[in-house]
Structure 1
Amino acid sequence: MEVIIALLWPLLFMPTITGYMATSHGRSFWRWFGLGCVLPYLSLFVISYVVHRDRRRSRATATNPSNFNQP
């Protein structure tokens, strides 16, 4: 049993990290965990880009109030 855990831990480490990053930024853990299982290293770059894009977008709307919908 310990051998199976030892063999699976490296395979599940990257998807777990990807899912945690996604959850901490308001995204679905299981969706990003699945993506991390399919594309382990690429998924970390993708979630990093998505988080950076969302932060940049939120900063742009905070500094430019003309983007808000006004009644």
Structure 2
Amino acid sequence: MTPPTEAAGDRQLAILGSPITHALSPVLHRAAYAALRLNWSYGAIDCTPAVSLPFCSRWTTAGRGCR
């Protein structure tokens, strides 16, 4: 996995975890972004800690946040 790129004003956000299919975060975030007319996306990425921890480390090093 590599951190997503973004154009000016665009944001790509996601929740990472496993299992993730039950997560309501993408639905709630997309609705909020649409209401605010933001050109942002929010996804759900099914991955284990073995994958998500290195991903977050690279993402944070690239100047992005990861929680």
Q: Would you tell me which structure has more helix in proportion to its own residues?
A: 1
Pairwise same-fold verdict (TM > 0.5):
no
Question: TM-score with structure 1 length normalisation?
Answer: 0.28
Question: TM-score with structure 2 length normalisation?
Answer: 0.29
Q: Would you tell me which structure has more strand in proportion to its own residues?
A: 2
**Which has the bigger relative contact order, CA under 8 A and spacing at least 6?**
2
- Bigger radius of gyration: 1
